[in-house]
């Protein structure tokens, strides 16, 4: 799965061995080197437990399996991956994969790269209203603006629409149990909506700064340039005690 994420972000390619891109600022990035599984156009991969985006990590992972093996083997391979990740009884394979990506992938990535990640997790906060991975070598000063325009702003509209739809569904529900289940979903979305608004304000502030990275400074220094936009900041930068 880590390799698949690397292919999505453009670090690796199914079409050639070794590193496909490891320069900086997305300079010299060649989209033609990725064969039948193209690297993400903007280098931003959403990770959400709800399938808000067609190009999120879970959906793209499914596409990766189709290309790396075959469409005929997709169902079997999804099940194999889900079982390997510890599928729960009430989950579909995609549910398991989506849950792992949202809750555990980044923890594993930090361990693999010894707290110096190459894929960075931008996160709205504990409600996980919006999260996405960005490959540090493809990040440039326009990445945060694109993140806002392509993902965060549209997501706010989709969340608002879902909350309104749940109002109607609650009114139409035939049982108290059904109403309760819908209200639980709605309350969760309202918390995520509030988190998104706060995240969007901070994201806009940092997008306006058009931050550039100097890879010679290392991950620790560069990771600390984004305030609270990134997950696990203290884990990576060491916090105030280092």
- pLDDT the model gives residue 239: 58
- pLDDT the model gives residue 242: 41
Q: What tokens does 153 get?
A: 């702003």
Banded pLDDT at 17 (limits 50, 70, 90): very high
Q: What tokens does 58 get?
A: 């879970």
In this structure, how many other beta carbons lie within 10 angstroms of the beta carbon of residue 118? 15
Condensed to tens digits (0 to 9), the pLDDT of residues 23-68 reads 999 999 999 999 999 999 989 999 998 999 999 999 999 999 999 9
C-alpha to C-alpha distances, 150 to 95, 128, 181, nearest whole angstrom: 24, 18, 31
Hey, is 224 helix, strand or coil? Answer: helix
pLDDT > 70 in the chain, percent: 98
- pLDDT the model gives residue 241: 42
pLDDT > 90 in the chain, percent: 96
**Buried/exposed code over 52-89 (b: 16+ C-beta within 10 A; e: otherwise):** bbebbbbbbbbbbbeeeeeeeeeeebbeebbeebebee
d(CA 137, CA 135): 6
C-alpha to C-alpha distances, 167 to 5, 108, 121, 129, 190, nearest whole angstrom: 37, 38, 32, 20, 12
C-alpha to C-alpha distances, 48 to 31, 74, 97, nearest whole angstrom: 25, 22, 11
Banded pLDDT at 238 (limits 50, 70, 90): confident
d(CA 105, CA 108): 5
Tell me the average pLDDT across 200-227.
Answer: 95
Cβ atoms of 118 and 218 closer than 8 Å: no
Average pLDDT value over all residues in the chain: 95
CA trace torsion 45, 47, 50, 55 (10° rounding) = 20
- DSSP letter assigned to residue 103: H
Above 60 in pLDDT, residue 162?
yes
d(CA 109, CA 122): 14
User: What count of residues does the chain have?
Assistant: 242
- pLDDT the model gives residue 182: 96
d(CA 113, CA 103): 18
Tell me the average pLDDT across 148-159.
Answer: 97
Q: Which residue has the tokens 């997008």?
A: 207
Which helix (H) or strand (E) segment holds residue 134: the answer is strand 131-135
pTM of the complete model: 0.93
């Amino acid at each position: 799965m880590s390799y698949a994420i690397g292919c999505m972000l453009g670090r690796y390619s199914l079409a050639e061995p070794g590193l496909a891109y490891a320069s900086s600022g997305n300079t010299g990035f060649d989209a033609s080197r990725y064969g039948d599984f193209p690297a993400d156009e903007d280098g931003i991969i959403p990770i959400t437990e709800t399938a808000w985006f067609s190009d999120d990590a879970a959906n793209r992972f499914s596409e990766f399996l189709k290309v790396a093996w075959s469409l005929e083997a997709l169902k079997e391979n999804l099940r194999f991956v889900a079982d390997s990740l510890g599928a729960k009884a009430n989950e579909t394979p995609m549910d398991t994969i989506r849950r792992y990506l949202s809750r555990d992938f980044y923890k594993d990535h930090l361990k693999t790269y010894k707290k110096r990640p190459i894929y960075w997790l931008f996160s709205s906060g504990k409600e996980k209203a919006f999260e996405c991975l960005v490959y540090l070598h493809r990040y440039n000063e326009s990445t945060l603006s694109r993140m806002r325009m392509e993902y965060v702003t549209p997501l706010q509209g989709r969340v608002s629409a879902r909350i309104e739809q749940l109002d109607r569904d609650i009114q139409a529900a035939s049982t108290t149990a059904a109403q309760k289940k819908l209200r639980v979903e709605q309350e969760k979305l309202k918390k995520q909506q509030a988190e998104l608004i706060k995240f969007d304000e901070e994201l806009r502030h940092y997008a306006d700064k058009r931050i550039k990275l100097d890879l010679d400074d290392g991950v620790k220094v560069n990771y600390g340039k984004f305030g609270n936009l990134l997950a696990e900041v203290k884990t990576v930068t060491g916090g105030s005690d280092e």
